[in-house]
Amino acid sequence: MAGLEGMEQPRARSSATAARWAPAVDDGRALEAVELFGDPSDGEVELPSRPPSAAVARRLTQCVVLRHWALSPQTAEHAVLLVSELVGNAVRHTGARVFGLRMLRRRGWIRVEVRDPSRGLPCLMPVRELDTSGRGLFLVETLSDRWGVDLLPRGKTTWFEMRTDDR
């Protein structure tokens, strides 16, 4: 991916599915996360770069996709899984104290961004059937319609986009 900053990665739709996840529209913890950290669809939300923040990011994503945007449970399931992977990479590989989460919607699309202060580019690695780690970007590649990395003066934004049925 080196040299491809700012370039989107087009993806064909796949029949791959994530592990089953049952969204709860009335998840009190999701609403609590929005109250504590803010709404990532209103602007970037900063979260501490620690493993428990992945759960917070999942809850924020669930709340926005299901409650605020009223999109399908499958869209929410995929968005929650992919945001978890991007946040996991930001927490594990950047050494940052905080990262940012932002969610955008336009007709027929959603975009989820994770910003961190590292300029190190993520690398999509080949995945074998028995691998127990290193599947994060493979999932992003498989379940999103597009994804990419935008280099910033101080860091980067890793993002994915998904088509929605609201056209």
Decide if 146 is inside a domain. Answer: yes
Q: How many domains is the chain partitioned into structurally? A: 1
Question: What count of Cα atoms within 13 Å lies in the side-chain half-sphere of residue 32?
Answer: 5
Decide if 33 is inside a domain. Answer: yes
The reported pLDDT for the residue numbered 12 is 45
Decide if 19 is inside a domain. Answer: no
pLDDT tens-digit readout, 26-41: 478 888 888 899 999 9
Decide if 60 is inside a domain. Answer: yes
Lowest mean pLDDT among 22-26, 70-74, 145-149: 22-26
pLDDT tens-digit readout, 90-111: 998 888 899 999 999 999 999 9
At 97, which CATH number? 3.30.565.10
Decide if 101 is inside a domain. Answer: yes
Decide if 137 is inside a domain. Answer: yes
Decide if 15 is inside a domain. Answer: no
Range of the domain at 94: 26-163
Using H for helix, E for strand and C for coil, what is the string for the chain?
Answer: CCCCCCCEEECCCCCCCCCCCCCCCCCHHHHHHHHHHCCCCCCCEEEECCCHHHHHHHHHHHHHHHHHCCCCHHHHHHHHHHHHHHHHHHHHHCCCCEEEEEEEEECCEEEEEEEECCCCCCCCCCCCCCCCCCCHHHHHHHHCCEEEEEEECCEEEEEEEEECCCC
User: From its phi and psi, is residue 16 left (phi > 0), alpha (psi between -120 and 50) or beta?
Assistant: beta
On the question of pLDDT at 141 being above 70, the answer is yes
